[in-house]
């Protein structure tokens, strides 16, 4: 009688991570959209300069969720904003204009449509490359506002045409998105935050006694300047000298963007402006995370 062989359980499939990098998928998505909107597959990826060829003028701000977390910016350089907008405009409407001229209403709407196409293409590329479902919410497209929090990544992209055409943009990732990408690409190297458990914190506090608390008590009555920052902008000295009563300055902050709360010149929170008994106030929506503060300190060294 033949020996019975017990069936062995099938081995569990190895976890499959993303097959392509996040920036690589974005580069492919941008090229795909350029080729589709222009109807010309001669467009190709070019060698991006480590430094932008011109100042960034228009910025799209994204917030990521689901499989990834953080913030991302798509910055369009001043010299090519009209060319990007013209991709989504009818041929008879996308007239050539002076490079440094501001976008008109039609071009602004067209550029927003281009951004939406970029997001859709990138989302699809992430899905098919093993990143899973990633939610990207377009928060704002308009004049460049404050850059993402320091410590993240900046990826310049350039696309060229054999007949001399050129389009370029810049991707900016904040610290939270940078870390989220690292965890997805290298899950085996991901480690939990080095923050001690609450029990360990309590034990250390008991072991130190009241010495640390006593030292902190010495500083509790120190007065610090608290400031609300609605936005800012850079101006040439020539433009500053031309300011006069009635002049209007456009800041780098959208009306729906949160206001920054600074203590001693450092950002500690964000929130919404309110009115309390006829005075300005701030309803805090988010406090700065300790990791964000440490990243900012590292960048300042």
Q: Quote the CATH superfamily of domain 22-188.
A: CheC-like (3.40.1550.10)
Q: What is the pLDDT of residue 13?
A: 43
Q: What is the pLDDT of residue 30?
A: 94
pLDDT (tens place) for every residue of the chain, 301 residues total: 445 555 555 444 444 556 678 889 999 999 999 999 999 899 999 887 655 445 556 888 888 888 788 888 898 887 788 889 889 887 655 555 555 567 788 888 899 999 999 999 999 998 888 888 888 988 888 776 555 554 567 888 999 999 888 899 989 888 888 888 888 877 765 555 555 554 454 455 454 445 555 666 677 778 888 888 888 888 899 889 999 998 888 887 777 788 888 888 888 888 888 888 788 888 888 888 766 666 656 655 5
DSSP class per residue in 173-198? E-HHHHHHHHHHH-GGG----SPPPH
State how far the Cα of 15 lies from the Cα of 101, in Å rounded to an integer: 51
User: Is 204 in contact with 212 (CB distance < 8 Å)?
Assistant: no
This prediction has a pTM of: 0.57
Q: Per-domain residue ranges for the chain?
A: 22-188, 222-300
What H or E segment, with its residue span, contains residue 300?
A: helix 290-300
User: Burial of 231 by CB count in 10 Å (0-12 exposed, 13-18 middle, 19+ buried)?
Assistant: middle
Q: Quote the CATH superfamily of domain 222-300.
A: SpoA-like (2.30.330.10)
State how far the Cα of 41 lies from the Cα of 24, in Å rounded to an integer: 19
Residue from 59, 58, 89 nearest 71 by CA: 59
Residue from 257, 24, 26 nearest 119 by CA: 26
């Amino acid at each position: 009688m033949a020996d019975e062989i017990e069936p062995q359980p099938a081995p569990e499939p190895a976890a499959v991570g993303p097959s392509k990098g996040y920036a690589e998928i974005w580069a492919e998505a941008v090229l795909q959209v350029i080729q589709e909107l222009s109807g010309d597959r001669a467009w190709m990826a070019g060698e991006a300069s480590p430094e932008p060829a011109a100042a960034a003028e228009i910025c799209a701000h994204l917030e990521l969720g689901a499989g990834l977390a953080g913030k991302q910016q798509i910055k369009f350089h001043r010299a090519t904003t009209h060319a990007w907008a013209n991709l989504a405009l009818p041929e008879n409407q996308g007239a050539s204009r002076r490079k440094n001229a501001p976008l008109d209403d039609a071009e602004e709407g067209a550029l927003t449509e281009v951004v939406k196409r970029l997001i859709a293409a990138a989302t699809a590329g992430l899905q098919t490359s093993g990143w899973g479902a990633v939610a990207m919410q377009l928060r704002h497209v308009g004049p460049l506002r404050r850059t993402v929090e320091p410590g993240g990544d900046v990826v310049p992209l350039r696309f060229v045409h054999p007949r001399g055409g050129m389009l370029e943009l810049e991707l900016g990732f904040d610290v939270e998105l940078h870390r989220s990408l690292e965890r997805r690409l290298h899950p085996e190297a991901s480690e939990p935050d080095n923050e001690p458990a609450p029990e360990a914190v309590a034990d250390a506090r008991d072991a130190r006694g009241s010495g640390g608390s006593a030292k902190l008590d010495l500083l509790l009555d120190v007065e610090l300047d608290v400031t609300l920052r609605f936005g800012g902008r850079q101006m040439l000295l020539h433009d500053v000298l031309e300011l006069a009563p009635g002049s209007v300055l456009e800041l780098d902050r959208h009306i729906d963007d949160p206001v920054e709360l600074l203590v001693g010149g450092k950002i500690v929170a964000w929130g919404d402006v309110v009115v309390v008994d006829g005075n300005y106030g701030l309803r805090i929506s988010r406090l700065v995370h300790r990791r964000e503060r440490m990243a900012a300190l590292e960048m300042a060294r």
